[in-house]
Structure 1
Amino acid sequence: MDTVDVLVVGAGLAGLNTARLLAGAGLDVAVCERRTSLETGIRTTGIFVRRTLTDYELPHLGPAVRRVLLHPPSLRSPVELVSSRDEFRVGDMAGIYARAVEDAERAGARVRLNAGYPAKATKARFTIGADGARSTVARELGLDVNRQLITGIEEVYPVRTGATPTFHCVVDPGLAPGYIAWVVDDGEHAHVGLAGRADRFTAPLPQLLQRFRDSFPTPAPAGPVRRRGGPIPVGGLLRRIVSREGLLVGDAAGAVSPLTAGGLDPCLRMSELAASVTFDYLRSGNRYVLEHYDGAALRRRHLLRSQLRRGLSLVRQPSIAELAFSALRTPIGKAVAKRILFT
């Protein structure tokens, strides 16, 4: 049986970045991933926001998006938000994962695909759960698990529109209850999807996605269409995300914006803290080091967005959403929307 310092469960962005940092610090690190290929089972749209683009060097990114259109259920009179800066880029997640594997292995980590958890052939001093919204590691270690989830579906395909890169957000509780439908067209690829509370969907997700495509002017595919989707935690960072046996990162820890459901920036930043705490703990053996990885303290940063999430979840009728857009069209409403989307 192999014995390692750290076993990272899950080869997503959070897990691979944590593994790279720990291996680079000199620890013996193994990564196990149940998928046989990182090109399959992708669940994120891959939208990177400005602060991520500023602080991290990322490969395989599409053109910059500076324009957002917010659409009410009627799709009439959308609210246009335009930034003077590059606010979003959509990444090719398969390419990004492949590069992250290379970087982790170059640092000394061993990445094993088609390897489930618990890993019978590997014994670890410390386990890091980066295994998604429904984390098995969280349950095995007796840590908190995500209870508030939305479910999404998305189609991704190449386009040749030549249009201004635009992020369309459609707020329609009849179509995407508790969240939004979206179209991201950056001139190279289109991402068409929707997500919401599973208990409020009025039809199977593929049917709802087709209904959305029929009603919204989506770009025509210029190549193969790939479908992805899955659960997204929106309850905010979990409170108990660390023990003496291990900790959680990324979606497993609920490190996703409660309002926008964006998780790529939090997962990168949280993986840095996770690696630092793990290294210090294994080097010193001092359990009090783990207190720096306090989910209850970290979740306070998202208190406002958690409250706004609850407000969005209460909107059940398209007429109420239309009424809310009246306020959104005012200068104050636009300023609030810009602060949420462009920071």
Structure 2
Amino acid sequence: METVDVVVVGAGLAGLETARLLASRGLDVLVCDRRRHLDVGIRTTGIFVRRTLEDFPLPERHLGPAVRRVLLYPPSLRAPVELTSPRDEFRVADMAGVYAEARSRAERAGARVRLGTPYPVRGVEARFTIGADGARSTVARRLGLDVNRHLITGVEEVFPVATTSTPTFHCVLDPRLAPGYLAWLVDDGRQAHLGLAGLPDRLAAPLPRLLREFRAGFPDPPAPTGPLHRRGGPIPVGGVLRRIACPDGLLVGDAAGAVSPLTAGGLDPCLRMADLAAAVTADYLRTGDPSVLRHYDGRALRARFRLRLLLRRGLSRLRGPATTEAAFTALRTPLGRAAAARLLFGDGSFPNTRLEPATAR
């Protein structure tokens, strides 16, 4: 029987970053993932926001051109609301490349990564288990931690393009097409990401069919210049789960519900929570003091998102195109545009989670 300090389940960005930080602290870390290759089974859109780009050393060569322009469309697709930031707000990443770089960094720090290895890992005993295994986490269930119950499901097509237009993030709010969420097209001149997501019990048709309808109805969609890749899956939108740690392990990323309840952005939260998860895990394994785990408190993080959880409920209640079109009347006012700009271009994507020195014994 092989014994390790920590098993990290899931070789996505949250799992690999947590593993790297733990290995850099001198712990024996094993990462397992049932996928045989990191470029398959990708579920994230790969949109990094400005705050993440400023705070984390992401691999430049895997990031697309900066996007400053957002167009918000009502169901009619007429008269979109245009918002432009003076700063570089979004960059869309080649996530296969980002994952490969994250794996390399984790392994250089001393972590071992085993692909094609399901959890639980046969012949391995761990002092602590970290679940980075997605919205429907097996680790959460095995450890008796909270599980995600509020999910939307999405699908996306990614393909190379060759355009000369301004990089733009197009967002379409149409409850017939994407109930409880939105459809999107991000075209940065190198790649296009065309997708939609919604509440599964209210989708009018299978997701691939809805995506075809969206592509057909969208004005002047970019033409692919290379192979098309499809991805998708469940996205937790219920906010950070309350109980995300116990003496046997903890959860990070989607498994912890660390996704913005309103925008469904999860890349910034997964990196910030990885930092806290690694600090708490290392402290706990060093001291054996269960009180250390109180610093990894889902309830405290969840409290930061009361407004966004409220807005999430409001978005979920939009059921007809007429109501959404009426909402755009308010969105076109100076106050409405300012609120939308604050939401899309603001700094409140996810709170800082670094463990204070006084508590990191």
Task: Give the stretch that moved more between structures: 189-198 or 115-124.
Answer: 115-124
From 243, 266, 283, give the equivalent of 1:240. 243
**Equivalent of residue 89 in structure 1, options 88, 91, 99:** 91
Which of 302, 306, 311 is the equivalent residue of 1:303? 306
Q: For residues 236 and 63 of structure 2, what CA distance do their matches in structure 1 show?
A: 24
Query: Residue 110 of structure 2: which of 102, 108, 111 is its match?
Result: 108
In the TM superposition, what is the alpha-carbon distance from 1:121 to its structure 2 partner? Answer: 1.8
Misfit runs of 4+, over 2 Å: none
1:120, CA displacement in angstroms?
Answer: 1.7
What is the Cα deviation at residue 302 of structure 1? 1.1
**Counterpart-to-counterpart distance in 2, 1:164 and 1:119:** 48
**CA shift for structure 1 position 218:** 1.3
Map 1:190-339 onto structure 2 (within 5 A).
Answer: 190-216=192-218, 217-339=220-342
Superposed CA deviations along residues 28-83 of structure 1, whole A, max 9, x for unmatched, are: 00000010100000000000000001001111100000000000000000000000
Q: Which residue of 2 aligns with 1:23?
A: 23
State the 1:213 CA deviation.
Answer: 0.3
Q: CA deviation at 1:11?
A: 0.3
User: Residues of 2 paired with 1:218 and 1:238: CA distance?
Assistant: 38
1:254-289, CA deviations, whole angstroms, 9 ceiling, x for partnerless residues? 000000000000000000000000000000001000
Percent identity, aligned pairs only, is: 73
1:178-199 CA-partner distances (Å, limit 9, x unpaired) = 0000000000000000000010
1:248 maps to a residue whose letter is L
Structure 1 counterpart SS, 2:127: strand
- What CA distance in whole angstroms lies between the structure 1 residues aligned with 2:305 and 2:100? 31
Q: C-alpha distance in 1, partners of 2:176/2:168?
A: 23
Amino acid at match of 2:331: L
How far, CA to CA, are the matches of 1:105 and 1:222 in structure 2?
Answer: 35
The 1-side partners of 2:33 and 2:209 are apart by 31
Cα distance, 1:177 vs structure 2 = 0.3
- Can you give the 5+ residue segments of structure 2 that lack an aligned partner in the other structure? 347-361
How far 1:322 moved relative to its partner?
Answer: 0.2
The answer as to 2:60 corresponding to 1:57 is no
TM-score by length of 2: 0.95
Deviation of the 1:2 alpha carbon: 1.1
Q: Give unpaired runs (5+ residues) of structure 1.
A: none
Map residues 73-152 of structure 1 onto 2, 5 A cutoff: 73-152=75-154
1:176 matched residue in structure 2: 178
Secondary structure of 2:170's counterpart equals: strand
Distance in 2 (CA, whole Å) between partners of 1:315 and 1:203 is 18
Letter in 2 for 1:6: V
The structural deviation recorded for 1:123 is: 0.6
Match of residue 340 from structure 1: 343
Query: What residue identity is the alignment partner of 2:248?
Result: E
Q: Of the candidates 156, 162, 165, which is equivalent to residue 164 of structure 2?
A: 162
Secondary structure in structure 1 of the residue aligned to 2:159? strand
Q: 2:354 is matched with which residue?
A: none
Q: Structure 1, residues 286-343: CA drift from partner, whole Å, max 9, x if none?
A: 1000000000011111111110000000000000000000000000000100111112
Whole-angstrom distance in 2 between the partners of 1:132 and 1:51: 23
Q: Counterparts of 1:218 and 1:31 in 2: how far apart (Å)?
A: 40
Distance 1:99 1:20 in 2: 11
Q: Could you tell me which amino acid in structure 2 is paired with residue 263 of structure 1? A: G
Residue aligned with 1:41, SS: coil
Deviation at 1:21, TM superposition (A): 0.3
> 1:7 Cα deviation (Å)?
0.3
Distance 2:237 2:15 in 1: 20
* TM-superposed deviation, 1:5: 0.2
The TM-score, its normalising length taken from structure 1, stands at: 1.00
Aligned-partner SS, 2:113: strand
Once residues 114 and 163 of structure 1 are traced to their aligned partners in structure 2, the CA distance between those partners, rounded to angstroms, is 41
AA aligned to 2:87 is R
Letter in 1 for 2:324: A
